[in-house]
Amino acid sequence: MTTSSRKFCAVIIERNGEELARDVLHIDGAADARSRLMQLVRRHEIDPFDEPINCRVVELSE
């Protein structure tokens, strides 16, 4: 029997203190988190090279 490491996280992308995007993601690990973050950036058409962006990840309880 295996246990799942899947977690639910709220991901908030900000620039200069302004929230640009927020989503709840199901994350299976570090590689998955990076992939999901880039999907969120593309979906909201955020240019990460325009100005630096900050990303906060908050783990949600089940």
For the stretch 47-57, pLDDT in tens is: 878 888 888 88
Which domain does 28 fall in, by range? 7-59
**For 1-62, where are the alpha helices, taking DSSP H only?**
30-43
Spans of the chain, pLDDT less than 70? 1-6, 29-31, 62
Per-residue pLDDT, 14? 92
Quickly count: other Cβ atoms within 10 Å of residue 17's Cβ. Answer: 6
Half-sphere exposure of 51 (CA within 13 A, CB side): 8
**For residue 21, is it within any domain?**
yes
Per-residue pLDDT, 34? 76
The model's pTM is: 0.67
Q: Please give the Cα distance from 10 to 12 (Å, whole number).
A: 6
What's the one-letter identity of residue 16?
A: N
**For residue 30, is it within any domain?**
yes
**For residue 2, is it within any domain?**
no
Number of domains in the chain: 1
